[in-house]
Amino acid sequence: MTLSRAKAIFIWGTVISAAIFLYLSYDSLVQMPKRTQEEKLDSHVVAGKWVWQKYNCNDCHTILGIGGYYAPDVTKVMSTRDGEWVTRFLKDPEKVWPNARKMPNLHLQDQEVADVVAFLTWVNGINTNNWPPKPLVATAVTSGSPGETVYKAQGCSACHLLNGVGGKVGPDLSRVGGKRDKAWIEAQLKNPKSHNPNSIMPSFSRLSQKDIDDLADYLAGLR
């Protein structure tokens, strides 16, 4: 090979690739407003994006799969948690969801919490080509949350199915958070007859308020 041929490879390689790339980039930028639901991107979301950056959440958490690998990916967190839960969590992570590995309390202002929740809610709507993918095998594995511990300890699975495990006397609870909010579930636990006078589900009003709270939190988070 001669030097001039080598140079031609360099120049043409670069030019061709750059041309394809620039064209596709242009096309992507045209399509992205629709794919990211930009019509829902209001000033709260923008403020929330800045909160996300200001506290450098991204060097612990991944978002869109990018960032630190120390904490859960939050791209689709609003599909599994509701805004009220995340709000309480962000104000005091340790209390609302105690885990061995901890998220520090960042002492966010109320407005900042509201904004970042709006931001995460908007991110949840981005079309990510179905990432993260649905698991190939659905299993019932522990999350280690306190509510789950109560669930197991009280033997709710005797009557309820959760992620394919348990009995069939009562309804499947795998996605119960999707149709019932926390207050409703708390009422169900304390007095099942309040919803269905003929209910055969036992009352759990004897549990401590904390256990009820944890349990309701956990179930409300299942979507």
Partner 1 sequence: MKYESQKIAMNYFMIAAVLFGLQIVFGLITGAKYVWDFDPLINILPFNTSRAIHINLLVVWLLFGFMGGTYYIVPEEAQTEIYSKKLANFQLVLFALIGVTAIVGYLLGWTWGMPFLEQPTVLKFGIVIVALIFLFNIFMTMMKTKKWTVIQGVLLGGLVMLAGMFLFGIFFMKNLADQYFWWWWVIHLWVEGAWELVTGAIMAFMLMKLTGVDRELVEKWLYVEVGLVLFTGIVGTGHHYYWIGTPNYWLWWGGIFSAFEPLPILFMVIDTLRVVRERKTEIPNRVALSWAVGCAVMHFFGAGVWGFAHTLPQINQWTHGTQVTASHGHFAFFGAYAMLNLTMFYFAMPQLRGLTTFNQSLGVKSFWFMCSFMGLIALSLGIAGIVQAYFQRVLGMDYLTTQEYMKLWYAVFWVSAWGFAAGVVMFLMDFYRLARARS
The residues that touch ligand HEC, with contacts defined as CB under 6 A, are 51-52, 55, 57, 60-61, 70-72, 74, 77, 81, 86, 89-90, 93, 97, 99, 101-104, 106, 116, 151, 154, 156, 158-160, 169-171, 173, 176, 180, 185, 188-189, 192, 196, 199-202, 204, 215, 219
Q: Is 20 in the site for ligand HEM (CB under 6 A)?
A: no
Q: Burial level of 106, CB count in 10 A (0-12/13-18/19+)?
A: middle
Q: Is 65 in the site for ligand HEM (CB under 6 A)?
A: yes
Among 157, 186, 191, 189, CA closest to 174? 157
Rama region for 98: left / alpha / beta (φ>0; ψ in -120 to 50; rest) = beta
Are 160 and 167 a contacting pair, CB within 8 Å?
yes
Q: Is 197 in the site for partner 1 (CB under 8 A)?
A: no
Q: Is 52 in the site for partner 1 (CB under 8 A)?
A: yes
Q: Burial level of 19, CB count in 10 A (0-12/13-18/19+)?
A: exposed
Q: Is 66 in the site for ligand HEM (CB under 6 A)?
A: yes
Least distance CB 119 / ligand HEC (angstroms)? 8
CB closer to ligand HEC, 41 vs 71 = 71
* Residue ranges in 141-170 that form contacts with partner 1 under rule CB under 8 A: 141-144
CB closer to partner 1, 19 vs 169 = 19
Q: Choose, by CB under 8 A, the member of 1, 39, 110, 168 that binds partner 1.
A: 1
Rama region for 144: left / alpha / beta (φ>0; ψ in -120 to 50; rest) = left
Q: Is 79 in the site for partner 1 (CB under 8 A)?
A: no
Are 75 and 64 a contacting pair, CB within 8 Å?
yes
Separation between Cα atoms, residue 151 and residue 218, nearest integer Å: 9
Separation between Cα atoms, residue 120 and residue 90, nearest integer Å: 12
Q: Is 109 in the site for partner 1 (CB under 8 A)?
A: no
Are 173 and 222 a contacting pair, CB within 8 Å?
yes
Among partner 1, ligand HEM, ligand HEC, none, what binds residue 49 when CB lies within 5 to 8 Å by partner kind? partner 1
* Residue ranges in 84-103 that form contacts with partner 1 under rule CB under 8 A: 99-102
